[in-house]
Amino acid sequence: GESVGLHLPTLSVQEGDNSIINCAYSNSASDYFIWYKQESGKGPQFIIDIRSNMDKRQGQRVTVLLNKTVKHLSLQIAATQPGDSAVYFCAENMGTYKYIFGTGTRLKVLA
Amino acid sequence: DAGITQSPRHKVTETGTPVTLRCHQTENHRYMYWYRQDPGHGLRLIHYSYGVKDTDKGEVSDGYSVSRSKTEDFLLTLESATSSQTSVYFCAIRDGSQETQYFGPGTRLLVL
């Protein structure tokens, strides 16, 4: 079974709806941010990244929004699919070796 | 998994025994990292390497040592395993010119 996320916040969405997953980051000096997806029993998978000089970045079906004023990051997934079910977490980097990782949000896609 | 393998993928061991986990990459990336992942915590850095024979401690390095004798391999050793080291261990790599880290598939370690 999973060792990750026994008490994670869970977001349940209907298949086809849009999902928004939020992350509050800790350090105002962080200048690079990453969203990862982690499926059960697997390693974190890179989804999308954004630098602090941007407010928004779009990928395929995913958009990341960055609000530096309130140190908030969000991941939007359009037309959520069953394969999107996973734990999602953000990471911040200050340009050094060190990354700070969030504990994650579990996304459940309802058929 | 971006050309990263970890071995073993699962291990059960007894308290007090030494354990070595291996991370192997085929990307020729400069930086390699070892993290542990536990419920209620984000990934926590154990040790990292910024080149062959160049390593440094992370936030949870007590009880762990590492070695990197080749660019492609980064070994994590638990000199004398304890039950508190039961965890899922992830290796990550990063190219020197980018900030993005890519993770391996993980090793589940159970210390009895």
Q: What is the pLDDT along chain B (112 residues), one digit of tens a residue?
A: 569 999 999 999 999 999 999 999 999 999 999 999 998 888 999 999 999 999 999 999 999 999 999 999 999 999 999 999 999 999 999 988 888 999 999 999 999 9
**Domain containing A98 — which CATH number?**
2.60.40.10
Torsion of the alpha carbons at B63, B56, B89 and B21, rounded to the nearest 10? -80
CA pair distance A79, A70, nearest whole angstrom: 27
Average pLDDT, rounded, for chain A: 91
CA pair distance A4, A104, nearest whole angstrom: 9
Confirm or reject contact between B34 and chain A (CB < 8 A).
Answer: no
* pLDDT band at residue A6 under the 50/70/90 scheme: low
Nearest CB to B104; choose among A36, A43, A104: A43
Confirm or reject contact between A99 and chain B (CB < 8 A).
Answer: yes
Query: What pLDDT, on a 0 to 100 scale, did the predictor assign at position A58?
Result: 97
The stretch A13-28 carries a mean pLDDT of: 95
Confirm or reject contact between A69 and chain B (CB < 8 A).
Answer: no
Cis bond upstream, residue B105 (ω within 30)? no
Confirm whether A111 is domain-assigned.
no
Cross-chain residue pair B88–A42, CB shorter than 8 Å: no
Query: What pLDDT, on a 0 to 100 scale, did the predictor assign at position A26?
Result: 86
Average pLDDT, rounded, for chain B: 95
The answer to whether B105 and B93 have CB atoms below 8 angstroms apart is no
* pLDDT band at residue A4 under the 50/70/90 scheme: very low
Q: Which comes out higher in pLDDT, residue B97 or A39?
A: A39
Confirm whether A70 is domain-assigned.
yes
**Domain coordinates of chain B in residue numbers?**
4-111
Confirm whether A101 is domain-assigned.
yes
Confirm whether A4 is domain-assigned.
no
Q: B4-111 belongs to which homologous superfamily?
A: Immunoglobulins (2.60.40.10)
Q: How far is B20 from chain A (nearest CA, A)?
A: 19
Interface A-B: count of C-beta contacts within 8 A? 62
Q: B55 pairs with which residues across the strands?
A: B49
Span A81-106, pLDDT tens digits: 999 999 999 999 987 888 999 999 99
Taking only residues 52 to 91 of chain B, the set having a beta carbon closer than 8 angstroms to any beta carbon of chain A reads 56, 87-88, 90
First and final C-alpha spacing in chain A: 23
Query: What pLDDT, on a 0 to 100 scale, did the predictor assign at position A3?
Result: 35
Task: Centre a 10 Å sphere on the Cβ of residue B25 and count the other Cβ atoms it contains.
Answer: 21
Query: What pLDDT, on a 0 to 100 scale, did the predictor assign at position B1?
Result: 52
Count structural domains, chain A.
1
Query: What pLDDT, on a 0 to 100 scale, did the predictor assign at position B2?
Result: 65
Confirm whether A3 is domain-assigned.
no
Task: Centre a 10 Å sphere on the Cβ of residue B90 and count the other Cβ atoms it contains.
Answer: 24
Taking only residues 22 to 61 of chain A, the set having a beta carbon closer than 8 angstroms to any beta carbon of chain B reads 32, 34, 36, 41-46, 49
The boundaries of the domain holding residue A63 are: 10-79+88-106
* pLDDT band at residue A5 under the 50/70/90 scheme: very low
**Most A-contacting residue of B5, B10, B101, B108 (CB-CB within 10 A), to test interface:** B101
φ, ψ of residue B78 to 5 degrees: the values are: -100, 110
Query: What pLDDT, on a 0 to 100 scale, did the predictor assign at position B109?
Result: 98
